[in-house]
A and B are shown apart, each in its own frame.
Chain A
């Protein structure tokens, strides 16, 4: 007996527990199988790029906090790098070390959150998420020590950072670096030994390397597909050429690989942090930069390897106190472009997991 069936269209979002913010997917199902998917975004659009044109160069730093709000330090860094490039400012060495330390800490925090929510999407009822937040909390405490804020840091300044590291930062950091590898091993055990998790993630949502490159995907998603591309290596900014670290690469490009790459990247971040804490010199943390920066006419593009991928700022100056144009190349937005290709033909439950494994942040997608 043949049933007469017809596809149904379901709106996932903008209010949905696993769209990680206000993302909307118009999905057409044939039973449980996805036959079409149309991503709809813009619900969180705040016009950051336009707002930047109305603010002085220093004030724009606070806008960058609101892009990827789980990894604000990287956003700060990318922006101040662009402005420094524009003005030709060289921050002192100690400031550069502090920036790298902050960027790597925020990478761990962001990956913890990404992995936690991915596991939540897989249906593990908040338990892994709370375990990941246990460690994220320690990183948040560290950030609170250096800049007083836990989410919107605004810690970096043009020509350095706002404040030097406080004395209580060092013992807390040493303890964190000592404990963190053990916790990462714990997560890995959780991941590698759970049969349901393996069945749900292995070979699900494969992103072929050529498709990833064509889609301009960056960050752990690209490396999960086995493409060795990391701006810390490919175009070392700051002082990344002084540290030893490996690029974890996936083999298949499935959800499981993206998961493992993030996990391994946390290990590498701890490695970089260890080296940075050893090498960090004494000295000033800020170059002498006037309060009102007035860069010469011109433009500059600076990019960093943010936790989610290549985050770039393109700043155009007309020699006034505010940028003439500030274009943000956000990794989450561009990573999302491959989503439709990745989910077609998979089941509803897989779609949620594939979307979770891309680890996008809506604050950054909509800007």
Chain B
């Protein structure tokens, strides 16, 4: 009887049932869309972090620079000693400024901490090549033909001899180089890239003159596998082209760590700039971070969540919108939908006073009447849930189809808190490209569907409680008297 009565009532009150279901559907659909977009934002942020950080890397360890580090770097290039016109070059492989370097031994110390699975060191460098064509200046108005090395441009004043002509055209070519541990490539700067052509380093290539080049840089420079790239005067054979999973790569050129340490103009033998750490499990990350902070002197540890807080750009803005406004909008719409469903169910019970009064007169217990009302409301809730899931999935599909591009930045342009210092990968990000673009997806996960079903059930039950409460309070005599 319960199911027959339920089915007939829902069929009879199709429009009312549809209004209740649509109200719930709107709320549930919005929750699904917002949840999916928020999940997409999180995925996008993860993607950004992975591209900046390296898949498989949970923490980075670096050492903040003190005031004595860095400072302007000097280059000396000029014409030949004999004063003739000449083309001169100066190729420097300099550490990226802003950080002290860590001894190789710290990598071992970090790896020895509880909860650490792998720790590898990397050295971030910048290859800067200055190339100048120098021309001699001429002294006019005095001893003719006397060359003045190193001076060009304007002449002297007054009636004395003056310098005419001369000067230099200087080209500056720079690219970033990262030395990495070729024996552990699943963690570290190259782990967020895939080898799209050629091959990766072999584990025996510790001091090989081999290089892996980022695909974007290779395209710009016309490099391909088998070509050479010159770093500090040394030719490295390009053995592989690496394509970053998303956005920008960590560096333009990757070479074995030992080679990078040897070639650096600074004394960086046995030094690394960043240690990449993979924890045993994600649950261990906070403890590992604390352990390294405590046990490794002078180390600054950055986790993905630290980095996430320093990601800015419209991805960050959109994420905040989805998290804050989206969440509250969903809550408001959902509460309104629940209330609407409850009031409509109460109103429906009000229109069926005689019916329920009659049933009570026939000996139906209040509980049975309430169960009937709640059953109807529950089915309305489920119907609303189904429609809501359809609406929500459609909304998420629309977002995924349109796939708006969001950018995320870490670095000078980011909204870093005052006094905060971006450590670890920042040096590499700055060197390559600190802005990463990702297309927003809105994945509808099983947990989101489960949430929708739970909301539908809750909505139905809340509506049923409203209606049931009213039905339970009906006294048969009042119900029958009211319609006489």
Question: A and B: partners?
Answer: no
Interface residues of A (CB under 8 A from B): none
Interface residues of B (CB under 8 A from A): none
